[in-house]
């Protein structure tokens, strides 16, 4: 069992649910990355999703897009993020999950990315613009380095597609809770519980809900039928506002 899966299962075994905050690396400057990660770690989060800014994000809502633009304006790159993480990787005790796009990885070099990412504390990678059918481009190198490739399961996925995605995913299942991009939502579809039951019927991996979750009530609601939540836009906005 991987370090990422273990971290989530350990929380579940205590009767709690996993909580993974998303942050945009370089928003506010890379010199703030250490402080942010160590602060969240001290607060007891299960893992941290580290967003890599990209010029053409397909999954990001307005809040995260703006954070990415600020990070890019600060000169943030995938290489600089990993280099920064490596400077304090010995202080990181929880798994980091990189959320990036395929082009930056290809430009970096898949094998070198996998090696450098592991040394930086990355234990999982999410690539929203890479379909399952193309995962062999990166998965062997990631697996050789000890990094999980986490798959996204959407509300529009067919039963057959859900089964394939869950069987291929590593670390955990990222269950998308809305049709569309990230961003805070006031409500969700009533049939989500059935959707999560279907996902869980295909896998023993933890199933975490993400996209749109922004309030304590959302967290409480989703925690009743999944193994944890990923909170992005609310966290990014709070960090930007220095709340």
Q: How far is CA 29 from the centre of its chain?
A: 20
Crossing angle for the helix pair 78-86 and 110-119, to the nearest 10 degrees: 30
DSSP count for the chain of H helices, then E strands:
11, 8
The whole-angstrom separation of Cα 160 and Cα 166 is: 10
Our answer to whether residue 129 is catalytic in this structure is no
Q: Please tell me the distance from the alpha carbon of residue 22 to that of residue 112, in angstroms, as a whole number.
A: 24
Collapsing DSSP to helix, strand or coil, 86 comes out as helix
Alpha carbons 148 and 205: distance in angstroms, whole number? 12
CA distance 207 to 198: 11
Strands (E), 63-111: 96-99
**Residue 90 falls in the annotated catalytic set:** no
Give all domains of the chain, ordered by start, each with its CATH number. Answer: 3-241 (3.20.20.70)
- pLDDT tens digits, the chain, 243 residues: what are they? 899 999 999 999 999 999 999 999 999 999 999 999 999 999 999 999 999 999 888 767 788 999 999 999 999 999 999 999 999 999 999 999 999 999 999 999 999 999 999 999 999 999 999 999 999 999 999 999 999 999 999 988 899 999 999 999 999 999 988 664 444 444 455 568 888 999 999 999 999 998 878 777 777 777 888 999 999 788 898 888 875
Q: Exactly one of 49, 116, 170, 227 is catalytic; which is it?
A: 49
What's this model's pTM, rounded to 2 decimal places?
A: 0.91
Given 10, 27, 31, 60, which residue is catalytic?
A: 60
């Amino acid at each position: 069992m991987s370090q990422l899966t273990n971290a989530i299962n350990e929380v579940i075994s205590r009767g709690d649910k996993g909580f993974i905050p998303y942050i945009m690396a370089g928003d506010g400057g890379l010199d703030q990355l250490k402080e942010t990660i160590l602060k969240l770690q001290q607060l007891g989060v299960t893992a941290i999703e580290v967003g890599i800014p990209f010029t053409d994000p397909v999954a990001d809502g307005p809040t995260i897009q703006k954070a990415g633009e600020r990070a890019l304006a600060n000169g943030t790159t995938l290489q600089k993020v990993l280099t920064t993480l490596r400077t304090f990787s010995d202080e990181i005790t929880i798994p980091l999950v990189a959320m990036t796009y395929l082009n930056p990885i290809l430009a970096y070099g898949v094998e070198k990315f996998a090696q450098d990412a592991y040394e930086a504390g990355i234990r999982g990678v999410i690539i929203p613009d890479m379909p399952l059918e193309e995962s062999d481009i990166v998965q062997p190198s990631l697996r050789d380095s000890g990094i999980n490739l986490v798959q996204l399961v959407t509300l529009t996925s067919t039963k057959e597609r859900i089964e394939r995605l869950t069987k291929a995913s590593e670390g955990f299942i990222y269950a998308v809770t809305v049709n569309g991009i990230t961003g805070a939502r006031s409500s969700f579809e009533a049939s989500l519980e059935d959707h999560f039951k279907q996902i869980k019927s295909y896998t023993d991996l933890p199933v975490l809900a993400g996209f749109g979750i922004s309030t304590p009530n959302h967290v409480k609601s989703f925690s009743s039928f999944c193994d944890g939540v990923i909170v992005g836009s609310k966290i990014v906005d709070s960090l930007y506002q220095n709340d």
